[in-house]
Structure 1
Amino acid sequence: MDTLQFLIDGFAVALAPQNLMFALFGAFIGTLIGALPGLGPANGVAILIPLAFTLGLPADTAMILLTAVYAGAMYGGRISSILLNIPGDEPAMMTCLDGYPMAQKGKAAEALALSAVASFMGGLIGTIGLILLAPVLAKFALTFGPAEYFALFMLAFATLGGITGKNPMKTVVAATLGIMISTVGIDNTGVQRYTFGILKLYEGVDFILAIVGLFAISELLLFIEERAGAGRKLIQVGKLLLRPRDILHVLPTTLRGGSLGFIAGVLPGAGASLGSFISYTLEKQYLGKKGHFGEGDPRGVAAPEAGNNGASSGALVPMLTLGVPGSGTTAVLLAMLISLNITPGPLMFTQNADIVWGVIAALLIGNLLLLVLNIPLVGFFVKLLSVPPMFLLPMVTMIAFVGIYSISHSTFDLYFMIGFGVAGYLLRKLEMPLVPIILGLLLGPEMEKNLGHALVISDGDWSVLWGTPLAASLWLVAGLGLILPYIVGPILRRRMRAAITEDAVSD
């Protein structure tokens, strides 16, 4: 009953005219960002963070805006996958396998419509799972002490390989770099660290500058380098028609895909990519000869779309309840919460219940808004793909620069952001993952604080860090999380590439 009452209160927050307006705006902008190949939800949210500060939005409105952008970007990624055979982001990769063949057969409209419905169903299943699971996990997390939280942070870093899918050593180096950056400033004892006499660094590195620079600015530099030419020639999209029998045909697939995606999203380090892949491959195995996967089967479009949207909601569970992001995008959302002086974790469900439940209610509303937007306005989103990037890049750059300047009115911050952008560009050219840097920057201070508290309580005895059954269990899971992604991940990626190659050959 408490959960139901909290959800009702959350709807009161989400349905406030201002919050509803920004949810609609975020869903629209998120879909645009998702439709552009390569940007993805993490970059989209990072670009919109300065706008939230520029407008002086309250905490609940800002989080509703950014979560709507997150959900919208997950929707939008399917458009370029179906029409261009270019995934908008990694989770949309599996949608190419059957979405593009459907478009080649003149069924682009049907593929876009069904993918919108599947995305809605997946997001709905994921949000319902979030409502049911998050309060339970938050109550459990209240039993954590400093040693347990330190072990939890180690678990977060151990599972980074699953989030990034990169070389293990590069992931470790990136996470270490992020933790090193987090030590800049004045520590708890009043000692200056790595400030070099620069007054601006006494308070540490502003992670909003780091995020916008590493994600948004570096993405813009890559965008200029790789896609600065003219727009693309698209497959023509006819009139969108949704027949009830078509929806019923894919309904079981969306229910299975959304449920599998949510489970994958909750697992630390798994994320939407795994949710999309598992939903597609298991559905293909389940249907067997009854399906025509890789040849334009509508269920091959519905499964991964339901999976990645279910996973996007599932990834919010560890972020809201434990303060540990489950994906790159939730790491950016975590930074936004911290910048608003809100500490994610179990206490957030009591101290900031209006924000938590307002965001959850906004996810339910946002999924409905996205379905309503994506059916009649898909023609507009499609045309956006043919617009040359030279017209889009200045607007995105302006939003980032004006937003950052409006936070502190400091030109130093602009130069700092550009510096992070150039560094992010170089790191990405070296194929270094950026998410571990952000996670190290975000979790480093809390990790250091809990380590200090645990050692003070134990009078310097390091065994306190694994001295309780719960802490020992977290260390065990962290060990498994460190090893398994590098065993299972390559296998999954090989199978994914094999599936893509097999379908390409069969075409």
Structure 2
Amino acid sequence: METIDHIMNGFSVALQWQNILFLFIGAVLGTVIGMMPGIGSSAGIALLLPMTYGMNPIPALIMLSGIYYGAMYGNTASAVLINTPGSASASMTTVDGYPMAKKGRAGAALASAAVASFAAGTIGILGLSFLAIPFAEFALRFGPAEYFMLMFFSMSAVSSLAGKSPAKGLFAAFFGLMIATIGMDLQTGMPRYVFDVPELQTGVSFLIVIVGMFALTEVFVNIEKWFMGQLMPVKIQGSLLMTLDEWKRCWRPIIRGGLIGFFIGILPGAGGTIATVIAYSTEQKLSKNGHEFGTGAIEGVAAPEAANNASTCGAFVPLLTLGIPGSGTTAVLLGAFILYGLEPGAELFDTHPELVWGLIDSMYLGNVFLIILNLPLIGIFVRMLYLPPGILLSIILAVASVGIYSISNSTYDLYVLLFFGGLGYVFRKLKIPVPPLILGLVLGKLMEQSFRQALIISDGSLKALVTGPICIILLILALTAMFLPAIISFVRNRREASL
């Protein structure tokens, strides 16, 4: 009952007109920022943070948080329409979202993403409201060994992303891990694999890799089709919204994805990328339409989108209860709290309850704003596909180039973008999946850091990775994810041979 009272008091704060105004501004800005590769919610909040200095902390934090979850939907729109995820966590959406767009079902893909984001966001906010403190205490049980095993489990799940060729998925994942090792060694401070190129000392930006291997690759593939006379405008088929059958196919993946996203989001540093991969691979194994995944299955859009949105709510749990950022964006928000003279932690619920519960309740309102805002815009977004192919490809190339150049204002980044665009083209021809590579790149440094910390704590013993109950459970799940598809395929082939 006490939590219900806090929620009701929080709505009295969130429903004040100035807070509603700043929430709406944040949601709109977040959607626009999310559609622009190379910026992302972290950079967007960081750019606007100085402008909020001197403001009342409540509307300022409500607006900045609105940018965070608003960007999640913006990421989806660009991933579905032009195969350009605005962030690493939106990479999984391209696997089925873009094929749906090419089949003329972009409207249904965007609608499923909007509904999944709304439903899973509600699940995540309810979890944040009622389960924040107990689950924050559970998250503290995750040490370096547990984090390594969690990321190992995520990496093992990539075998299911490669369809009938798990080996290609694992190859792509380890290739991503290799790219992640380029740059300064985190422990010794020595450069690795830089080949006397000064710019490589800071490593390879995952944003450049994402944009290169998705957006630029798509440009190259379509240029090839143009030369062969095969490039045709996309024809919109059916309704812009989901059919009744698609609704029935989506509701279970949305619920499962929302739960997975929230619980993964609670873990500091885990992030939405892990959540989307686990949600996608889970649905591919459970769905009776698993054979359609990768070719335009609507479950393949709904599940990762649900996980992605719910993970943003989960990331607020360690931020508000422990003062520990759960993601890169909440790390920037932590800086905002400090800028306003606030110290996140369990005491914040007692010292500034109107701020904490006003912020939490504003997420309920923001969730409603986003679905009201984005569902009517689906028709406008989809009209991009009516553009002549040459103009659409020019837009993709311009957005990708400007977004990447804006990161550090360096032409070097454009050369790297071109390289990974070519690499993505080779991957496409060899039918090697790209999402596992992105996952390996994003998790590479985190895995290395957790692995080394676990070894230091255990005096160099690998037993630390298999001693705790959490580690053992994650190891079992990882081995299951790696070998279960092969076992199922073997059993199925034996049954077919015996018939």
TM-score bracket relative to the smaller structure: 0.5 to 0.7
Task: Specify the alignment match of 1:337 in structure 2.
Answer: 337
2:297 maps to a residue whose letter is D
2:442, 2:277 → 1: CA distance?
21
Task: Specify the alignment match of 1:110 in structure 2.
Answer: 108
1:94, 1:4 → 2: CA distance?
36
Residues 90-131 of structure 1: per-residue CA shift (max 9 Å, x gap): 111111111111111111111111111111111111111111
1:41, 1:371 → 2: CA distance?
19
- Does structure 2 conserve the Cα–Cα contact (< 8 Å) formed by 1:261 and 1:308? yes
Identify unmatched segments of 5+ residues in structure 1: 142-150, 178-213, 401-417, 438-464, 466-474, 496-507
Cα pair distance change 1:436/1:158, threshold 3 Å: farther
Q: Does residue 71 of structure 2 align to residue 58 of structure 1?
A: no
Cα pair distance change 1:156/1:31, threshold 3 Å: farther
Task: Specify the alignment match of 1:122 in structure 2.
Answer: 120
Cα pair distance change 1:392/1:101, threshold 3 Å: closer
Identify unmatched segments of 5+ residues in structure 2: 156-175, 190-201, 223-232, 386-391, 418-439, 447-456, 458-463, 485-499
Query: How far did residue 484 of structure 1 move?
Result: 11
1:346 maps to a residue whose letter is A
2:133, 2:104 → 1: CA distance?
46
- Does structure 2 conserve the Cα–Cα contact (< 8 Å) formed by 1:60 and 1:359? yes
Cα pair distance change 1:137/1:100, threshold 3 Å: closer
- Does structure 1 conserve the Cα–Cα contact (< 8 Å) formed by 2:14 and 2:361? yes
2:121, 2:342 → 1: CA distance?
25
2:130, 2:263 → 1: CA distance?
13
Task: Specify the alignment match of 2:300 in structure 1.
Answer: 300
Task: Specify the alignment match of 1:87 in structure 2.
Answer: 85
State the TM-score, normalized to the length of structure 2: 0.62
1:321, 1:272 → 2: CA distance?
19
What secondary structure, in the 3-state scheme, does the structure 1 residue paired with 2:104 have?
A: coil
1:88, 1:99 → 2: CA distance?
14
- Does structure 2 conserve the Cα–Cα contact (< 8 Å) formed by 1:328 and 1:435? no
2:353 maps to a residue whose letter is A
Residues 226-252 of structure 1: per-residue CA shift (max 9 Å, x gap): 9999x9899576873355554343112
Query: How far did residue 309 of structure 1 move?
Result: 0.8
2:333 maps to a residue whose letter is L
State the TM-score, normalized to the length of structure 1: 0.61
1:103, 1:222 → 2: CA distance?
22
Task: Specify the alignment match of 1:252 in structure 2.
Answer: 252
Residues 322-362 of structure 1: per-residue CA shift (max 9 Å, x gap): 11111111111111111111111111111121111111111
Query: How far did residue 46 of structure 1 move?
Result: 1.9
Alignment of 1:145-294 (within 5 A): 155=143, 159=147, 240-243=240-243, 246-289=246-289, 292-294=292-294
Cα pair distance change 1:487/1:285, threshold 3 Å: closer
Residue identity over aligned pairs, in percent, reads 38
1:281, 1:433 → 2: CA distance?
18
1:363 maps to a residue whose letter is M
Task: Specify the alignment match of 1:26 in structure 2.
Answer: 26
- Does structure 1 conserve the Cα–Cα contact (< 8 Å) formed by 2:181 and 2:445? no
CA RMSD of aligned residues (A): 5.0
Query: How far did residue 255 of structure 1 move?
Result: 0.8
- Does structure 2 conserve the Cα–Cα contact (< 8 Å) formed by 1:320 and 1:346? yes
Cα pair distance change 1:305/1:345, threshold 3 Å: same
Cα pair distance change 1:358/1:310, threshold 3 Å: same
Query: How far did residue 292 of structure 1 move?
Result: 2.0
What secondary structure, in the 3-state scheme, does the structure 2 residue paired with 1:76 have?
A: helix
- Does structure 1 conserve the Cα–Cα contact (< 8 Å) formed by 2:18 and 2:59? yes
2:34, 2:475 → 1: CA distance?
28
1:298, 1:169 → 2: CA distance?
35
Cα pair distance change 1:306/1:159, threshold 3 Å: same
1:357, 1:70 → 2: CA distance?
17
Runs of 4+ in 1 over 4 A off after TM superposition: 151-177, 218-229, 231-239, 242-245, 379-385, 387-393, 431-437, 475-495
- Does structure 1 conserve the Cα–Cα contact (< 8 Å) formed by 2:261 and 2:310? yes
Cα pair distance change 1:236/1:127, threshold 3 Å: farther
Residues 191-229 of structure 1: per-residue CA shift (max 9 Å, x gap): xxxxxxxxxxxxxxxxxxxxxxx9xxx999999999999
Residues 278-308 of structure 1: per-residue CA shift (max 9 Å, x gap): 1111111111456622221111111111111
2:357, 2:101 → 1: CA distance?
39
What secondary structure, in the 3-state scheme, does the structure 1 residue paired with 2:326 have?
A: coil
